[in-house]
Structure 1
Amino acid sequence: MTEQNNSNPSVDTPEDAEKAALAWTHTARFLTTASQLHQLPATELPEIAFVGRSNAGKSTAINTLTQQKQLAFASKTPGRTQHINLFELGPKTAPDALFADLPGYGYAAVAKDAKRRWQKVMADYLELRRSLTGVVLMVDSRLGFTDLDRQLLEFVASRVGNGSVKLLVLLTKADKLNRREANEALETAQSVLGELSTDEADVSMSLFSALKKSGVGDAACVLHDWVHAA
């Protein structure tokens, strides 16, 4: 994971930075939902999108990051989320960022026409959404990058490459790995991400476990810095 640079002079230690970042993510609250790109509100706020395969633990990770049990809909049946859900962060009277929960991709039980429609919506969102500042890609640490995950990276590669969008890869379900497997997962992810023509400062990765709460503070700090470092 890239080294953090805490610009807030009131944050003196990594523990303080993590506490501030988690307090910020905890402010997340539902704003709106949309099934088409044009239905999303125009905004000047930085927007961070959460993407990943339907069974990669995306909604659970969002709930863990925000310390809220039911902010994002975490169904026992993958592929159920069929909308882009926006969440507002920061003070209610002066929000400073948005989280966008995008539908999971790749679940076999979803009809082919729905898959094609959502692939187009997601591709357009990742390519055209002007307020998009960062992308959090959830990858099941036990499976590594699937073909669909690599396609997702292709969608965002140009924007990450030109510095307009930052990328964080969370290797989820890391509690299922032993130390050797965890190191191998990190090495593989590093290799895949190394293929992107990007500034290393714009790409981060971390092992993540919603069950064990590991990697949560690191991820929160990355997202907080994306929004507040400037």
Structure 2
Amino acid sequence: MLPHLTPTRNDLGRDVTGHLPAAEGLPGVYVLDERHAAIWERAVPYLRVRDNDAHTIYAYGLGRALLDLTPQADPEVVLPAILLHDTGWSQVPEPEILEAIAPGGGRPDLVLRHEKEGARIASEVLADVGWDAERTERIVAIVDGHDSRREAISLDDALMKDADKLWRLTPHGVDTVMGWFGLTREQAHRLIASRVHDHLLSEPGRVLALGLAAVASIDVTPQRIALA
């Protein structure tokens, strides 16, 4: 479900839009530039399984935040890697995809398969958009191992892996995990927390995770529920 894009009411009763600042330059306001949008358009047909399309675009935004806090990383490696990292799931039979990551189970062979296929697709997409060869090689190496490889091979890899995991703590991520496994919101957050916090590789990632987890945990308190 998309968030509201237009207001449903105006309690003040008058127009205040003339007093709003421009979006450009505000912290945390992110859009895809033309080059990244070209990658996205080629990646999205491969992402229309298991909510990977929405997951990926949220991870892109989280990656932008991590890059703002880590200026020594290369955004032209991190962000294309995020956009392309899960394209390989399109090559796994859809009924089997959740078995690869299910609690109490798992299919490491399918995880490896989606990484290998994702690396292949990433290489093809980046060639199509004319990405430079040296960065393409680094991006493909990140995609090929982004889930199965516990340690990062570079700072760029660490930020990509953190952005990927942080999505799970967003409201959209919690909603998605609930539907995947038939869990309550509280159960989904417990599962997510067990798979995120101890696996993050950057200090900015750990800070963002605590902020997102705070929102997810308060959402299921009796006090918040009573306000509904």
Instruction: Please confirm whether the aligned pair reaches a TM-score higher than 0.5, indicating the same fold.
Output: no
Tell me which of the two structures has the higher relative contact order, counting C-alpha pairs closer than 8 angstroms and 6 or more residues apart.
1
Question: How high is the TM-score relative to the length of structure 2?
Answer: 0.32
Instruction: Give the structure with the larger helix fraction.
Output: 2
Higher strand residue share: 1
TM-score by length of structure 1 reads: 0.31
